[in-house]
Structures are given as C-alpha cells and as structure tokens.
Amino acid sequence: MRPQDVIRRKREGDALSAEEIEFFVQGVTSGEFTDYQAAALLMAIYCRGMDETEQRTLTEAMLHSGDVLDFSDIPLPKADKHSTGGVGDKTSLVIAPLAASCGVAVPMISGRGLGHTGGTLDKLEAIEGYRVKLTLAEFRRVLKLCGFAMMGQTAEIAPADRKLYALRDATATIETIPLIVASIMSKKLAAGLNALALDVKTGTGAFMREESRARELAHALVAIGNSCGVRTEALLTDMNQPLGRAVGHALEVHECVEILRGESHAGAAPVLNLSVELTARMVALAGVEPTLEAARERVTRALGSGAALECFRRNVEAQGGDPRVCDDPARLLQTSTLRAVKVESPRAGFVTQVEAAEIGYAVSGIGGGRTRLEDEIDFQIGFVADAKLGDELRAGDALGTLYCRDDTQGRQAGERIRAAYTVGDEAHVAPVKLIKEVITA
C-alpha cells in the first residue's frame, strides 16, 4: 500500500478500509507518511467526509497510536465529561469533585486555553501551587486518593492526534466533523472510561456557532463513543452569552468554589444547573444509580452536604495547591492590585445579542488568556458579567466589571466588551434555554 493510493481513493470519494486508515495513522505517527501526504489526505477527508465505520476506525487507530490508561485496579466505574468549549465555561471544576463524591472515578485529561476559550488546566493553575503536570504514577495516586485527578495530555496519549491537529491547523482542515470526532474521542477514550457526558456548545461563543452543525457533531460523538464501548450522551447547550458571571481564570475558580460551598451568586445558576445535569448523566451512565432522577438526587445531596467541596479540597492538596481557597475563596482574587472598570451600557433598552467570543478575545487580548500557545497568562485578569440576554438596562447601567492592570487595558478591553453587547428596543427576547437538546445513543 502506498500513501498516494489511499489519498487517491479518498479524493475520489471512496470509503477507506480499516487497513488503509490504520496504515495512515501508523504512518503519521512513525513519520513514514510525509507531512504533505498526510495534509493531502486530511484535505480529501475534509472534502469527501467519512462514514460512521471510517470515523470509528480512525478514532480507534488514533487512540491506539499511544498509551491507553488502565485503571482497573480502582474498583469504581470511570467517567468523564468533555465540553467543546465556550466563554466562562468552567463546569469541569465543579463536575469532577461532584462526580467523585458520588462514587465515580474521574480521570480527567484536560486542555489549555487558546483564543477566546479558556482551558481547565490553566484555571486550576490560578490556585497557588496547583500542579497539573503529573506523571502517570502521580495521576493514578491522586485518582485513588480523591476520586478525581486532573492533568494535561502527555506525549504518550494519542500521539497521532498531536501531529494531525498541527497539520489540520496549518491546512485549514480543522472544521470537519469526522476529524473533530476522532481527535476529541481518541484523547478522551485513552483514559479508559466506562461513561462519558459531552457538552456540545452552540452560539456566539462556541467553537460551532451554528446549531445544526453542533447537533450533527453531538450525534457523531455519541455514536462513536457508544460504538467504542463507552456509554456516551451529549447535551446541546447554549453559548450565546458567557456561562455564569465570571470570565477569566481566578474569577472562574472563585465562582466554582462558591458553588461547591453552596454560596453562589444568582448569576452563577447556569453553571450550577449545567454542572448538576452533566454530573447526574455521568453518575447514571456509569451505573452508580439506576435512573437519571435518582442520579440527580444523589448529586444534589453531595453538593448540599459539602461532600463535593471536601473532595475538591483533597484534590487541591494532593496536587500541591493551597487548600485554604476552599474555606476562603476570596484568597483567589488579588482585587487590590487590579483596576476595576465598570463597562456601561451606552443606552437604555434590552440586551438582545451578546457576541460571547468577543468577550473572551477582549479578556485574552490583555493577558487574561492566550493568543499563542506559548503565551503566559495573567490569572487575575477577567470580566464579571452582570447583564444577561433579555435584561432591561438604563443608559450607564453596568454590563459588567472588567478587572485589568491599567487604564490602557481598561480602555482597550472595555470598549471591545461594550461593543459585544447589543442593547436594543426589542423587549421580547426569546428566553434562553440552556439545555437545548439531549442526544442519547
């Protein structure tokens, strides 16, 4: 078999055989497939698509291009959640300890933030001392001790994805469902899961803005997860405004610790509700409770009793962080060293549209996120959103507060955030439905 034969067959729109897909993935991992041949095949896949069998074979081949973790010595079902990402999307920090406190082991392998979205690993690093660079032995020890552990992808996990993702980035072939599915699922399945809850976001702050495309992605992810033997469900959720109030690393951890403490602001209700629903699905899919209703009750009890907070505390301590943030979340915020800038509504009216990605870009553009992978993050920078879609405002009312370092940053990001909100005369904005659809096997 030669790479050009595989490329030609996909170029002509044929379905590739398992041998051809495995040859491609092995060739990319070993370097036998040159970058230009791999890029040509990626473009052919982008243009011609892949059927479900090809997608599953590609996912499995990428998964087996590296290590698949084995936690069978931990006598608990293993489950995880994955989000396609959004602005203020911080639910992992609530879900991991919550699921763990309900008897599910959560080996969470997360990512870094880039562009308008934040990453779980970066958020955790906003806790003084918290280490996400763990060896596999440390990851296993923390998982056993706390019921959940958090780390980044290692070079050993799905190495084919690392290479292919870089090539896709350089060849405008990111946005195609078969390649997205194989990329996401090969990394998630490497953690040896029994169950997976997916949060597929759609809207102005989502990776997939268009609802029909996000729905298509959710269906494809659920199909592949289940056919690979992992009980998988997806929620299609709204990302037409920041999730909750906080956007920015320390602010988001603060919002999550308040939720775990049962002290959250009313504006954080979407984070709380979505976290409970996703965790309940993990608990039910993992078989810890027989029904979703029973799982929701168990999750609600674990949050109310403080069990999830204690689980979070144990994890923070085990991963080297300062556990005192659990008692006093204000320790996370160095507000006295920051400038707080009120971002005002320029006119009276109703919030009719929020360009959520613009808020993410505004925060990251002044150091609160990354525009390039190697950028350092200022964890303290961020925005707390007060205004929500449909809210009625007077001229000068706060859209929210920007936390930044100086006046230049305040003007630059403040203006961008102000422009992200449309305040119009329309009083009847359709109520936001946070969970738009549930996609099951």
Name the site residues for ligand URA (rule: CB under 6 A): 174, 179-180, 183-184
With tokens 């803005």, the residue in question is 209
Instruction: Give me the catalytic one of 101, 183, 264, 345.
Output: 183
Torsion of CA 295, 297, 299, 303, to 10 degrees: 180
Report in angstroms how near the CB of residue 240 gets to ligand URA at its nearest: 20
Report in angstroms how near the CB of residue 180 gets to ligand URA at its nearest: 4
Query: Under a CB-based contact definition with an 8 Å cutoff, are residues 7 and 39 in contact?
Result: no
| DSSP tag of 412 | H
Instruction: Give me the catalytic one of 80, 89, 122, 161.
Output: 161
Report in angstroms how near the CB of residue 338 gets to ligand URA at its nearest: 32
- Annotated active-site residue 436? The verdict is no
Question: What φ, ψ does residue 195 adopt, rounded to 5°?
Answer: -145, 150
List CB contacts of 417: < 8 A, sequence separation 6 or more. Answer: 343, 358, 359, 362, 383, 399, 400, 402
* Nearer of residues 161 and 378 to ligand URA, judged by Cβ: 161
* Nearer of residues 186 and 264 to ligand URA, judged by Cβ: 186
Q: Give CA separation, 209 vs 222, 408, 420, 437, in Å.
A: 19, 31, 15, 15
Residue with nearest beta carbon to ligand URA? 183
| DSSP tag of 261 | T
Instruction: Give me the catalytic one of 116, 168, 418, 436.
Output: 168
Report in angstroms how near the CB of residue 2 gets to ligand URA at its nearest: 27
* Structure tokens belonging to residue 283: 């608990």
Cα(45)–Cα(124) distance, integer angstroms: 36
- Annotated active-site residue 161? The verdict is yes
CA 437 from centroid of its chain's CA atoms: 18
* Nearer of residues 208 and 295 to ligand URA, judged by Cβ: 208
Report in angstroms how near the CB of residue 156 gets to ligand URA at its nearest: 17
- Annotated active-site residue 168? The verdict is yes
- Annotated active-site residue 188? The verdict is no
Q: Which amino acid would we find at residue 406?
A: D
Pairing mode, strands 231-238 and 195-202:
parallel
Length of the chain: 441
Instruction: Give me the catalytic one of 123, 162, 187, 313.
Output: 187
- Annotated active-site residue 64? The verdict is no
Instruction: Give me the catalytic one of 78, 81, 82, 188.
Output: 82
CA 291 from centroid of its chain's CA atoms: 26
Residues serving a catalytic function are: 82, 161, 168, 183, 187
